[in-house]
């Protein structure tokens, strides 16, 4: 019998299934597991948002929206970005509401790349970036970020990766999986490179609100960067709305229009229910959001201190909700460590190399789970490490 594989397009073989997916299969069906493997908040969506969405349904708001998204939502987004970062976007033409940042990432790559164009992608990074570049016919050029640099993107590494085919630099701070952030001064160096080589910057700022020891710098707020930046953000992380699938892209009119054209043919619009919820989030849920962020901050401190105390050294993550400790000294690979930790102690964390080659020797642990669970996870991890050292 012939394999079904013959129907699958050749180019898909360049895109392996996500390493996270593979690990997920191992955890399915076990209920004794403490999961530090999750990339989403443990809080439910604030009730006001749910209520606004339900009310919208009751009122019969069940139609398509503009391809760009509800104008009211785009206005709220423009207002939000203006008040937080002082960056001005025209809600009529420079903002596109998408099905999460995931769709926006796919759209922007297809909107700006022609076959063979290169995109500089810092690693370790979120799993979808390289596949999106490849789907668009482009070529991802990875640049490793390293623990001694606190996983910040180094300007000289970016310079070294630039060729005449380089079209864009993708940045993602606060970072999944490392929790790294970049300051205004550090980003300014990347901005200078982008200006010098006339590159587009695609900035995934989905964790912008989850910044703990200082304010987030929006890349588009750097001098003259608004004109060459596509800013991506959404509601999943800050407002605990992962399942609602609402994100957005802001950027130069021509790029947003090109993205909207594809979006109009492939997704048409983001779900109206999600969009209504997002409006409520922006207008009425600042307090709820801040409370969640304060809670993550407390967990971050407890968890990172705990990891360092049991010998899993880890730079202090300053954003998102991930700690990225090194497990190299154990002599195990990331995958071996993660599997053994899961099977022997019932703690699920994601091998660092699921986020790229430079994540090898690390483990991504989410601290978006209760303090009680985090403490129990730390105790189990300590037990696991004790067993390793005593053989």
Partner 1 sequence: MRQILEIIAREGPVPAEELATRLGMSVADAQRYIEEAQEQGILLRYSALVNWEKSDIERVYAFIAVQASPEHGTGFDQLASYISRFDEVHSLYLMSGTSDLMVVVQGEDFREVARFVAEKLAPSPGVVNTATSFVLKTYKTEGEIVVEEPGNHRLAVTP
Give 24 or 82: the residue with its C-beta nearer to partner 1.
24
DSSP 8-state class, residue 326: B
**24 contributes a contact to partner 1 by CB under 8 A:** yes
> Which one among 67, 128, 150, 308 touches partner 1, defined by CB under 8 A?
128
Name, in order, each residue with C-beta under 8 angstroms of 109's C-beta and a sequence gap of 6 or more. Answer: 119, 132, 133, 135, 136, 138, 202
The Cα–Cα gap between 47 and 113 comes to: 41
Give 126 or 362: the residue with its C-beta nearer to partner 1.
126
Q: Give the residue carrying structure tokens 């983001």.
A: 270
Give the torsion sign (CA, 15, 363, 23, 386).
positive
Q: Which stretch binds partner 1 (CB under 8 A): 17-25, 65-73, 83-91, 138-146?
A: 17-25
DSSP 8-state class, residue 170: E
Q: Which stretch binds partner 1 (CB under 8 A): 79-87, 115-123, 154-162, 295-303?
A: 295-303
Q: Pseudo-torsion of CA 298, 240, 134, 68, nearest 10°?
A: -140
**20 contributes a contact to partner 1 by CB under 8 A:** yes
Span 296-315, contacts to partner 1 by CB under 8 A: 297-299, 301-302, 305
The total of other beta-carbon atoms located within 10 Å of residue 384's CB is: 17
**176 contributes a contact to partner 1 by CB under 8 A:** yes
Q: First CA to last CA across the chain, in angstroms?
A: 48
**127 contributes a contact to partner 1 by CB under 8 A:** yes
x-marked contacts with partner 1 along 38-57 as a string, rule CB under 8 A: xxx-x-x-------------
Q: Give the residue carrying structure tokens 């989850």.
A: 210
Contact by Cβ (8 Å): 327, 362:
yes
Q: Give the residue carrying structure tokens 């490392």.
A: 178
**126 contributes a contact to partner 1 by CB under 8 A:** yes
Shortest CB 132 distance to partner 1, Å: 13
Give 69 or 277: the residue with its C-beta nearer to partner 1.
277
> Which one among 14, 92, 192, 294 touches partner 1, defined by CB under 8 A?
294
Q: Which stretch binds partner 1 (CB under 8 A): 23-31, 104-112, 113-121, 319-327?
A: 23-31
Contact by Cβ (8 Å): 179, 142:
no
**28 contributes a contact to partner 1 by CB under 8 A:** yes
- Where along the sequence are the contacts to partner 1 (CB under 8 A)? 18, 20, 23-24, 27-28, 30, 33, 35, 37-40, 42, 44, 126-128, 176, 294, 297-299, 301-302, 305, 348, 350, 371
């Amino acid at each position: 019998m012939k394999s079904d594989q013959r129907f699958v397009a050749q180019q898909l073989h360049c895109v392996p299934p996500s390493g996270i997916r593979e690990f997920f299969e191992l955890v399915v069906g076990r209920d004794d597991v403490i999961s530090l493997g999750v990339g989403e908040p443990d809080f439910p969506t604030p009730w006001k948002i749910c209520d606004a969405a339900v009310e919208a349904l009751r009122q019969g708001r069940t139609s398509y929206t503009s391809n760009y998204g509800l104008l009211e939502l785009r206005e709220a987004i423009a207002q939000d970005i203006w008040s937080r970062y002082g960056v001005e976007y025209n809600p009529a033409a420079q903002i596109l509401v998408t099905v999460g940042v995931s769709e926006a990432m796919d759209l922007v790559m297809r909107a700006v790349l022609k076959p063979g164009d290169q995109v500089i992608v810092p690693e370790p990074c979120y799993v979808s970036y390289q596949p999106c570049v490849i789907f668009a016919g482009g070529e991802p050029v990875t640049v490793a970020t390293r623990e001694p640099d606190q996983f910040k993107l180094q300007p000289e590494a970016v310079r070294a990766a630039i060729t005449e085919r380089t079209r864009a630099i993708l940045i993602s701070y606060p970072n999944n999986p490392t929790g790294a952030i970049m300051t205004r001064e550090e980003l300014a160096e990347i901005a200078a490179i982008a200006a010098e080589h006339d590159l587009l910057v695609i900035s995934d700022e989905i964790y912008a609100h989850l910044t703990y020891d200082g304010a987030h710098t929006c890349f588009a707020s750097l001098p003259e960067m608004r004109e060459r930046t596509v800013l991506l953000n959404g509601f999943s992380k800050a407002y605990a709305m992962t399942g609602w699938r609402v994100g957005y892209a802001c950027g130069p009119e021509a790029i947003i229009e090109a993205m909207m054209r594809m979006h109009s043919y492939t997704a048409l619009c983001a779900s109206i229910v999600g969009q209504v919820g997002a409006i409520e989030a922006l207008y009425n849920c600042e307090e709820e959001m801040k409370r969640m962020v304060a809670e993550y901050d407390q967990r971050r401190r407890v968890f990172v201190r705990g990891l360092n105390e049991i010998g899993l050294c880890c730079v202090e993550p300053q954003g998102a909700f991930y700690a990225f400790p090194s497990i190299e000294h154990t002599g195990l690979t990331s995958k071996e460590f993660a599997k053994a930790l899961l099977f022997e102690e019932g703690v699920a964390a994601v091998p660092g190399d699921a986020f790229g080659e430079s994540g090898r020797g690390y483990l991504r642990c989410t601290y978006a789970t209760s303090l009680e669970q985090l403490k129990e996870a730390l105790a189990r991890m300590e037990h696991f490490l004790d067993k390793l050292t005593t053989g």
